Every structure is written in structure tokens, then in C-alpha cells.
């Protein structure tokens, strides 16, 4: 079980706009401190995962990890599309429009983004009650 994930950013306010645009609608709560931001789902077990958005610990400019991606599960394909659009409007950049991907199962519906710092984000739904790729 992952306890937390931290992404380094140079501009906390810009990152707050981006991450809040899709994490708040997914039900995450935000906690702000002098160190940065923490996004956690409320009323979860002690094993729940927190996303921290902070300045780098060494004080050098933040960089995106090559091959690193954080995926967030949405409730539906419609929500993936809406959150992808909201994140783009909040300063993100498109890394792959929402849709099905041939490499994954028939219900894996995903949109890819980069946050303003360049970190790769996925928003996905794999709800079998919705039409699949082959339906």
C-alpha cells in the first residue's frame, strides 16, 4: 500500500489551481501548510494515500520524472472527459485525449495530462457498467 506520493513544484499557487480542478471533484480534501499542499480522501482508513504538492526539498528547480505517472480513478467516462477539460483550463497540458487505449482492457478509458511543472497525470475509469471499447 502506498502511503504518500510527493510531486515537486516551483509555483504552489499554479499547482493548487491545477490539482484542485480535478481532485476536489473526485472528493479529495485539500490541506495547506507552509510546506505546500496535501490532498487526501476524507474518512479513509489509516492506509489511504495522500498526494503532497511541495517545493523541492533541496531547493533546486523541480523537474518531472521521466517515466513517472500518477493515475487517479474517476467515477465514469463522462467524468474523465470533464476533469481532463477542467485540468487543461487550470493550466495543464494535453498528453492524450480521453478515450480507450488498445493496449489495455476493453473498459480502460483514460485521459493523460501534464501538470504545469511537467509531471504526468492520468484520469481513468474502468467501469464495466459503461460501454466498452468493443461495444
Whether the full predicted model's pTM is greater than 0.85, yes or no, is yes
**Mean predicted confidence (pLDDT) in 18-32:** 96
Please report which confidence band the pLDDT of residue 43 belongs to, taking 50, 70 and 90 as the band edges.
Answer: confident
What residues form DSSP beta bridges with 36?
Answer: 33, 54
pLDDT of 45 > 80? The answer is no
pLDDT at position 74, please?
A: 95
| φ, ψ for residue 59, nearest 5 deg | 80, -5
80-127 residue pLDDT tens: 999 999 999 999 999 999 999 988 889 999 999 999 999 999 999 999
pLDDT of 2 > 70? The answer is yes
CB neighbour class for 45 (10 Å; exposed up to 12, middle 13-18, buried from 19)? exposed
pLDDT at position 73, please?
A: 94
Pairing of strands 69-73, 120-125: parallel
Angle at 47 between CA 44 and CA 53, to 5 degrees: 85
What residues form DSSP beta bridges with 39?
Answer: 30, 51
Amino acid at each position: 500500500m502506498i502511503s504518500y506520493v510527493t510531486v515537486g513544484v516551483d509555483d504552489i499557487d499554479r499547482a493548487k489551481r491545477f490539482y484542485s480542478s480535478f481532485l476536489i471533484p473526485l472528493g479529495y480534501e485539500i490541506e495547506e501548510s507552509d510546506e505546500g499542499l496535501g490532498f487526501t480522501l476524507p474518512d479513509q482508513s489509516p492506509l489511504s494515500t495522500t498526494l503532497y504538492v511541495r517545493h523541492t526539498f533541496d531547493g533546486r528547480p523541480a523537474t518531472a520524472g521521466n517515466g513517472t505517472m500518477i493515475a487517479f480513478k474517476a467515477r465514469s467516462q463522462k467524468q474523465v472527459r470533464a476533469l481532463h477539460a477542467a485540468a487543461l483550463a487550470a493550466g495543464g497540458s494535453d498528453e492524450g485525449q480521453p478515450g480507450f487505449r488498445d493496449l489495455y482492457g476493453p473498459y480502460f478509458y483514460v485521459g493523460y495530462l501534464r501538470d504545469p511543472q511537467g509531471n504526468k497525470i492520468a484520469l481513468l475509469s474502468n467501469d464495466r457498467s459503461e460501454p466498452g471499447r468493443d461495444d
